[in-house]
Amino acid sequence: MSRVRSRRVTTNTDIYRFKLGDFDCVAVSDGTHTYAPPTFPPPATFLFANAPKERLEPVLREHNLQPEQWLEWTSPYICLAVNTGKHQVLVDTGADGLAPGTGKLVQNLKAVGIAPEHIDTVILTHGHPDHIGGNTNSEGKLTFPDARYVMWKGEWDFWTSGQAETKLDEHVRERQLKFARKNLPPIQGRLKLVDRETEITPGIRALAAPGHTPGQMALAISSRGKQLLCVSDVVLHLIHLEQPEWCAGTDFSPQQVVATRRRLLKRAATQNALVLAFHFPFPGLGHVMRKGEAWQWQPISTMS
């Protein structure tokens, strides 16, 4: 397995630098958010909504999770900065304003010398609050004022044409629409929409990844033969690799989730690509290994 050249930067929050070929990359935490009742269902129900109970409990215990005691799930929110030499790219903008533990992206970028004005391309994988919440500041102005923004056309249309109002589940609709209405209209004048798998900047390619949302986008990033697959929310928890049929309560189309998951996880394993998963334990980087008819996660070593 290829080794990832990296060095940890110690600040008050988590930052992880690594090289991908000629690209300088940084996994940047926007903070964490705890999912727990009464706002959310218990974690096992929230993350594995369709899992058969007789299978769910033993699988949880294999991961040292006691179903009756697993009362909350604290998730990292991990954005990605990529300096290609020609472009300074940011993948997702975090969840500023969502919870007390979020909104740390800008200060963490500055800690590694990346000012908001340095970002020239912002790629939004999908329209959920934890991926678009940092598009604008508290005054409604663009956080990254000199960037162009890239989003999948079907995703943009879902959130801006009235579809979300009628198709979202009632228990998530209000919060998700609030963030979409604040953070999407201001980028419209700087927006590029893609409707097929295409290169966004040299070395960064858009991949269709629908299911979690109607137009979620994954990214294939490559430099000098090194591959990074940014899967966004195709998987939310390590168990989703081992149980790819189990879907979360926030997955828009479970059938599409499973198809997308199988396609991208197979690709990651076949290519031995480095993978970045937005909600995995920080820094969210690892490799996908075949395990029977499914997969398992092999996190990278973060030792210097």
Q: pLDDT digit string (tens) for 40-76?
A: 999 999 999 999 999 999 999 999 999 889 999 999 9
pTM attached to this predicted model: 0.94
Q: Which pLDDT belongs to residue 11? A: 39
Q: Which pLDDT belongs to residue 119? A: 98
- C-alpha to C-alpha distance for 215 and 211, rounded to whole angstroms: 8
Q: Which pLDDT belongs to residue 84? A: 98
Q: Which pLDDT belongs to residue 303? A: 59
CA distances from 201 to 26, 123, 137, 162, 242 (A): 17, 10, 26, 30, 33
Report CA torsion sign: 80, 10, 272, 246: negative
Q: Which pLDDT belongs to residue 169? A: 86
Tokens representing residue 262 in the block: 């199988």
Q: pLDDT digit string (tens) for 256-281?
A: 999 999 999 999 999 999 999 999 99
- The parts of the chain modelled with pLDDT lower than 50 are 1-13, 304
Please tell us whether the domain made up of 6-299 is placed in CATH 3.60.15.10: yes
Give the length of the chain. Answer: 304
- C-alpha to C-alpha distance for 136 and 192, rounded to whole angstroms: 17
* Structural domain boundaries in the chain: 6-299
Tokens representing residue 252 in the block: 């828009």
- C-alpha to C-alpha distance for 241 and 94, rounded to whole angstroms: 24
Q: Which pLDDT belongs to residue 150? A: 98
Q: Which pLDDT belongs to residue 123? A: 99
- C-alpha to C-alpha distance for 181 and 49, rounded to whole angstroms: 28
Q: Which pLDDT belongs to residue 92? A: 99
